[in-house]
Amino acid sequence: MPLSATKTDRPQANDRLAASLFAEVLIAEQLSRNLIGKALPRGMQISHFSVLNLLAHVNEERTPAQLAQAFHVTRGAMTNTLSRLEWAGHVHIRPDWDDARRKFVSISPAGRAARDAAIAAFMPLIAGVVDDIGADKVRTALPVLRELRNRLEGNAG
């Protein structure tokens, strides 16, 4: 069913199911951010870690606009995050040699070390949650959560 379907196109029970699903996702997201945020190294925010993690994963430069789009945030918000990361020495920002209006961002060795320290700090906590729930239950839930994310990404913007 398309996301634009009207209420009359679906049973009311689906509305309650949708409300319950999104309530659980939103609460889990808030609690997850709190758990991870408390474990991050001093001064690091989840937004900082997320950018460092993406840059470490792709292992190539990105423009601030590409990063903003990847995280579904404004360019201003990404500029703020990148300024803080640059100040901390976690990223290098250089001009585009072909277009001086554009910049490129890469992770620095210090940024990679900070990202690794962050993962080391929170991984035992999130792995413990998976252990408590059970790996089989988590494996069963992942496809549904991925599909939900993919559907929502298709409607972002």
Would you say residue 157 lies in a domain? no
Least confident range from 6-10, 39-43, 81-85, 128-132: namely 6-10
SS3 of residue 89 by DSSP: coil
Tokens matching residue 36: 């991870």
d(CA 55, CA 4): 35
Would you say residue 5 lies in a domain? no
Torsion of CA 69, 77, 45, 157, to 10 degrees: -30
State the total domains in the chain. Answer: 1
Least confident range from 8-12, 52-56, 78-82: namely 8-12
Would you say residue 145 lies in a domain? yes
pLDDT digits (tens, 9 = 90+) for 91-117: 999 999 998 889 999 999 999 999 999
Nearest to 146 by CA among 25, 32, 57: 25
Residue 127 belongs to a domain with what CATH number? 1.10.10.10
Range of the domain at 50: 20-152
Amino acid identity of residue 109, one-letter, is P
Would you say residue 4 lies in a domain? no
103 and 95 Cβ atoms separated by less than 8 Å: yes
